[in-house]
Structure 1
C-alpha cells in the first residue's frame, strides 16, 4: 500500500450535543409513527366525509404504505451517497406538502395524493439511526438507537387517542394540519442541531434497480393489503403476485451485475445481515398483530360477552401504557446489548414477545388484563427492535449504514403488512352473529395471539444462528474515538500492477488490538473508502479471488489516501505432454465441478500453458490434442495459491466399431503413438 496525494479530505465534523441530537431524531421518529396511525380511527367515517365507498377509503392507508415501502430503500441509498441530513430534510418537506394537500383537499383523490406524499417520512427512521452512528460517542449509540426504535411504539400508541381527541373537538382536516406542524418543527430543528455527515458511498445511483424494486414492492404489497377486498384468488390478486415474483427475478440478477447496485445483495446475503433481516420480518409481523387485535378487541360491543365497548379515544388511551413501556425499556435493551451483544438482545426480545402473546390467550376477562398483555408484548418489541439496527450496522461498511438500515426497515414493513392481511383474514372468517351483525369471536383473537407467538418464536430461533458478536453495539468497529478526535475517511484504489482495477477485492481494516474497524467492497473502478475512528496504526488486509492477499501496517495521522497494488494475478501453469514429448497447440481448459468453463488457452511450442487462477474450490484441468484426439484431465483444488499442473495425454481413441477388428489400413494404438512421436520429433 502506497500513500497517494489526498483525494478525499478527512472527516472534520462540528461537535454536536449528543442529547440534543438524540432528542430531535427520536422526536422525528415519533412523528413518523404518528402520521401512520392518525388516519386509522377515522377510516369508518371517511366514506361519508369524502363521499366514497369503504373500499376506496382504505386507499388512505394503502397509499401511505406503498409510498413508504418504495421510499425507504431509495431515500436511504441516496442518503449514503449525498448526505443523510439532506435527505431527512427532503422527506420532511414532502411530508409537509402531503399534509397541506390532505388538509386542503375535499376529494378522495386529493387526500390520497397527500397521504402518498406523507409516506416518504418512513425513511426518516433508518436515516436517523445512521446519523446517530456517525455523530454520537460510541457509548451513546446503543441507547440512542434503542430510543429511536421505541418511538415506533409510542408514536403508534399515541396516534389513536390523539386522533380521537382531535376528531372530537374539530374537523378531520386538523389531523393533517397537526402532521404538517410537527414536520415543520423538525424541519427547523434538524439543521440547527444535527450536523451533516460527510461520509459518502462512491458511485452513481442505480435508477433501473430502484424502478424494478419499486414495481416489485407495489406488486407484492397491493394484493397483501387489498386481497381481502379483491378476493385472495381473484385475477387481479394473482396477476400482481406473479408480477412481483417476475420483477424480483429480474431485479436480483441486475443488482448482482450492475456497477453500483441499489441494494448490495452480496452484503445483504452475509449471514449476520440475512438472518437479522429475516428475524425483522417475523418480529414486525408479531408486533403489528398486537396493535390491530387489541384496538378491535377493546372496541367490540359488550354484548359479544368479551368486548369492552370502548370508543376510539378510550381504546387509544388503553394502548398508551404499551407505548410507554417501549420507551422505558429502551435503556434496558441497550444495556443487554452492551453486556451480551445484539444477538442476545434480539433473542430475549423475541422470547418476551412470544411469552406475552401466550399470556394474552388466557388474560382476556378484564380490561387491566388486556392492557397488561399488550404491555408485555410491547416490552418484547422494544427489546427486539433495539437490537436490529445494532446488528445491521455492525455487519455492513460504515459508508452503507443508511441503505442497510433502510432495507431492514422495509422488511419490517413487509412483516407488518403481512400481519395486517392475516389479522383481517382471521377476524373476518372466524365470526358469529350478534344482534344480526357478524362480529369476530373470542377464538379469532386467540388464533391471532397464537400465530403471533409462533412468529416471535421462529424469529428467536433464526436469531440463535447469528454469529457471536462482541458486546458493544459498535465494538466490531474497533477502539472508541477519543473526545478530541474526528473520524477519518481513507480512500484509494485497488489495482493489479497499478493499472487494472480489481473489482472483486475486499479491504478490511483492523486495529492493533485485533478488533475490526471497518471494511469495504471495492467499486467497479477499483475505488474504496473506509472510516477510521481517529489517528493511529492500523492493519489493512486486502483479498480478492485470483490474487495473492495483501496486508500492511499503516500509520494514519490525518488526511490520508492509500492505493493498493495486488500485483500480477495468480496463475495455474504446467506442461502438456504425450509419451514424454511436448504437445504444442494443445487446448487446455479449466472447468468447475458445476460445469462452467472458467478458463481456456493453447499450449505453447514447448507444451507449456498458463491460466489465470480461478475462484477457490474444486476444478478439472483438461488438455486435448485436436490433431490426434488424445486427452488428459486432472482434478485440482484451488486455494488461492499458485499451482503447477502437468498433463500427460492418454492413448488415441479408437475409431472402430465394437465388432470391427483392426486392419492394415486401421493403425493400432502403438502405430498412432509412433506416428505422434515422429511428428513431434519433426
Structure 2
C-alpha cells in the first residue's frame, strides 16, 4: 500500500444526517453479537462432526481450531487496516467474509470447504474491536461508555446465547441450517452497517506493515496450536514443543522488527506503557475466567445421573440452563457504563473481578441442581460484563485516537488467548480425573471443582494486577468540553486540561530522548516548552490557545512542526527529527 504521507481526513457521511446514537449502538452491537456467535456455532454438533464430515475425531477438531486461528491472526491486522483506511470499510469486508464462509459451510459436507468456511467466519471476530473504535469516533461522550460496554460484552454474550440457539436449530433442522442462519444474520448486519454507520474521519495513514503481519501471524499460529492442541497431541510431543518453539522465535523476531519499522502493525512502545500493557495482560486471565464456565458446566449438566454428580440433561435443556449468562451480560452493560462514569473503568473492572471470583468459589458448592448452575453462571455473566466493558475503556484512555482500532484489536486478541487457555486447562484437569459410567468416561466431581477453583484464581490474579493500573482521565470528555459555553444554571466545575498527546522520534524510529516540544500560539507567542519522556511521548496543554503550532527540537537534528486544530487530542503521526546524516543525504 503506498505511503499516504499525512493522515487522511475523509467524511464519508457528508451530506446526510448523523444517525442517532442508540441506532449506532444497536447496529454495531448486533454485528459483534453475530461475529461472537459464530465462534461457538458448531459446539453442539462437535460429537457428530467425524460422521458428518466423514473424517476422524482429531481431524474434525480443526473445525473449531480453524476459526480460532483465523480470528487471532485477523484481529490485529484488521485493527491496523481500520486505523489506516477506515474502520467502517474494514468492518464491511470482515462481515462479507463471514457471509461467504457461512454459505460455503452451508452448501457442503466436505471437510476442506468447511474448514475454509470456518476460517472465514473466524475473521469476523475483528468486528468487535472495529465496532468499539467506530463508537469512539461516532458517539457523543455521554453515550460512549454504555455503547463500549455492550459492544465489548458481545464476546461473552455471543458464547452464552450461541449454545442454546445452536442447540435449538440442530433439534429442529439439519446441521447445515446453523450456517444458513449465521449467513443470513451476517448479511443483515452488513446491510445495516452500510446504510446506517458513517465512516470515521480519523485515519493514521502510513504503509501497511506486511513483515509485521507475517511475523505476528506465524507466532500466533504456533502459540495457539500449542495451547489448543497440546492435550490432543501430548504436552511433551514433538508437535506441541515444535509449535511452541516456533511461536517463541517468531514473536521475539517480530518484536525486534516492530521496534525498527516506521509504521508498525503494533506500536510496541505505546503498548508497553503501563496504562496499556496491564489491561492487556489482565485480559488473558479474564478470558480464562469467562470461558471456563462455558466449558465446565455443560459437562456437568449433560453427564449421566449414574455418575453420582451429573444432572443428565439433554443438549437443548443444558443450553437453556446456561442462557442467563448471556442475558445478564446484556442487561449489565448500562450498569457497567454507569459505574465507569462515576468511579472510573478501573473500579468497574475490579468489582467485576471480585464478582467472578466469588461466583466461581460459590459454584464449587452449588452443583447439585440445574437452577444452582443457572444462578452461578448468571452471576459470572454479571462480573464478566463489568470486566469486559472496562478493559477497552481503560485502553482507549491511554492510546491516540488514530490507534484505537489496532489497540482494541490487540486487547481482543489477548482475550482470545485467554479463552483458548481456558479450554486447554479444562481439558487437562477434566481428563486427569474421570469415572467410568455406562461404558464412557466422564469428569469426576473433584475435577470439575478444581477447574472452577482455577478460574476463581485467575480472577484473583487479575484483580491483584489491576491495582497497578493507572487511572487516567477520559480524553473524549476533555475534547468535547473545549469551547463549550457553560449555561447560566450550570455549576462551575474546574475544567480538566485539554491535553494534546504525541511522540517525538528520530528518523530511524528510536525515541528522541532529550527533545523538547514548544507550543506557539496563533499570534506567534510562545506558550510553553515541554520535555519529551524517555519513550518519546509528551502531553502538552495548549489551554484556550487553539489552533497552536507544536515544534519538536533537539540539538543536532532538524526540528519538526505540526498544527493542532480544535478538537484534536492526539497527533496522527509522530514528529520525526532528521539526523545530520539524513540532512546531508537530502541535500
Asked if TM exceeds 0.5, the reply is yes
| Structure 1 SS opposite 2:364 | helix
Aligned counterpart, 2:402:
399
Aligned counterpart, 1:65:
68
Q: Assess, with a 3 A threshold, how the Cα gap between structure 1 residues 112 and 251 changes in structure 2: closer, same or farther.
A: same
Aligned counterpart, 1:50:
53
| Structure 2 SS opposite 1:240 | helix
Give the distance between the partners of 1:306 and 1:7, measured in 2 at CA: 61
| Structure 2 SS opposite 1:433 | strand
Aligned counterpart, 2:230:
227
Q: Pick from 100, 108, 111: which aligns with 2:114? A: 111
Aligned counterpart, 1:204:
207
Q: Pick from 504, 510, 515: which aligns with 2:497? A: 515
Give the distance between the partners of 2:527 and 2:304, measured in 1 at CA: 67
User: Where does the alignment leave 5 or more consecutive residues of structure 2 unmatched?
Assistant: 1-5, 486-493, 510-521, 558-587
Give the distance between the partners of 1:481 and 1:167, measured in 2 at CA: 57
Aligned counterpart, 1:671:
none
TM normalised by structure 1 equals 0.73
Give the distance between the partners of 2:244 and 2:39, measured in 1 at CA: 25
Structure showing greater radius of gyration is 1
Contact 2:102–2:180 under 8 Å retained in 1:
yes
Aligned counterpart, 2:267:
264
Q: Pick from 156, 159, 169: which aligns with 2:172? A: 169
Aligned counterpart, 1:40:
43
Give RMSD over aligned pairs.
2.8
Q: Assess, with a 3 A threshold, how the Cα gap between structure 1 residues 133 and 301 changes in structure 2: closer, same or farther.
A: same
- Higher relative contact order, structure no. (Cα contacts within 8 Å, ≥ 6 residues apart): 2
Aligned counterpart, 2:295:
292
Matched, 1:181 2:205: no
Give the distance between the partners of 1:307 and 1:212, measured in 2 at CA: 45
| Structure 1 SS opposite 2:47 | coil
| Structure 2 SS opposite 1:362 | coil
Q: 1:437 Cα deviation (Å)?
A: 2.0
Q: 1:25 Cα deviation (Å)?
A: 0.3
Aligned counterpart, 2:551:
564
How many corresponding residue pairs?
526
Give the distance between the partners of 1:222 and 1:95, measured in 2 at CA: 23
Give the distance between the partners of 2:316 and 2:202, measured in 1 at CA: 45
Give the distance between the partners of 2:191 and 2:422, measured in 1 at CA: 36
Aligned counterpart, 2:103:
100
Q: 1:520 Cα deviation (Å)?
A: 2.3
Matched, 1:147 2:129: no
Q: Assess, with a 3 A threshold, how the Cα gap between structure 1 residues 449 and 192 changes in structure 2: closer, same or farther.
A: same
Contact 2:11–2:199 under 8 Å retained in 1:
no
Give the distance between the partners of 1:47 and 1:514, measured in 2 at CA: 60
Give the distance between the partners of 1:209 and 1:541, measured in 2 at CA: 35
Contact 1:154–1:320 under 8 Å retained in 2:
no
Q: Deviations over 1:425-467 (max 9, x none)?
A: 1111111112332210111110011000000001011011111
Aligned counterpart, 1:373:
376
Q: Assess, with a 3 A threshold, how the Cα gap between structure 1 residues 524 and 52 changes in structure 2: closer, same or farther.
A: farther
Contact 1:82–1:200 under 8 Å retained in 2:
yes
TM normalised by structure 2 equals 0.84
Q: Deviations over 1:246-305 (max 9, x none)?
A: 111111111111111110011100111111011111100111001111111111111111
Give the distance between the partners of 2:344 and 2:112, measured in 1 at CA: 48
Give the distance between the partners of 2:394 and 2:482, measured in 1 at CA: 18
Give the distance between the partners of 2:195 and 2:505, measured in 1 at CA: 34
Q: Assess, with a 3 A threshold, how the Cα gap between structure 1 residues 10 and 152 changes in structure 2: closer, same or farther.
A: closer
Q: Assess, with a 3 A threshold, how the Cα gap between structure 1 residues 441 and 139 changes in structure 2: closer, same or farther.
A: same
Task: Report matched runs for 1:617-628 at 5 Å.
Answer: none
Contact 1:325–1:378 under 8 Å retained in 2:
yes
Contact 2:85–2:205 under 8 Å retained in 1:
no
User: Where does the alignment leave 5 or more consecutive residues of structure 1 unmatched?
Assistant: 1-5, 484-511, 528-534, 571-682
Contact 1:142–1:390 under 8 Å retained in 2:
yes
Q: Assess, with a 3 A threshold, how the Cα gap between structure 1 residues 309 and 397 changes in structure 2: closer, same or farther.
A: same
Q: 1:150 Cα deviation (Å)?
A: 2.3
Aligned counterpart, 2:444:
441
Aligned counterpart, 1:194:
197
Contact 1:33–1:151 under 8 Å retained in 2:
yes
Contact 1:475–1:515 under 8 Å retained in 2:
no
| Structure 1 SS opposite 2:502 | strand
Give the distance between the partners of 2:541 and 2:478, measured in 1 at CA: 20
The structure richer in strand per residue is: 1
Q: Pick from 244, 248, 252: which aligns with 2:251? A: 248
| Structure 1 SS opposite 2:177 | helix
| Structure 2 SS opposite 1:519 | strand
Of 408-417 and 10-19, the range deviating more from structure 2 = 10-19
Q: Deviations over 1:197-243 (max 9, x none)?
A: 12011321111011000000000101111111111110111111111
Aligned counterpart, 2:488:
none
Give the distance between the partners of 2:29 and 2:164, measured in 1 at CA: 20
Q: Deviations over 1:40-90 (max 9, x none)?
A: 110101111111111111101000000000000000000000000000000
Q: Assess, with a 3 A threshold, how the Cα gap between structure 1 residues 554 and 305 changes in structure 2: closer, same or farther.
A: closer
Give the distance between the partners of 1:521 and 1:126, measured in 2 at CA: 24
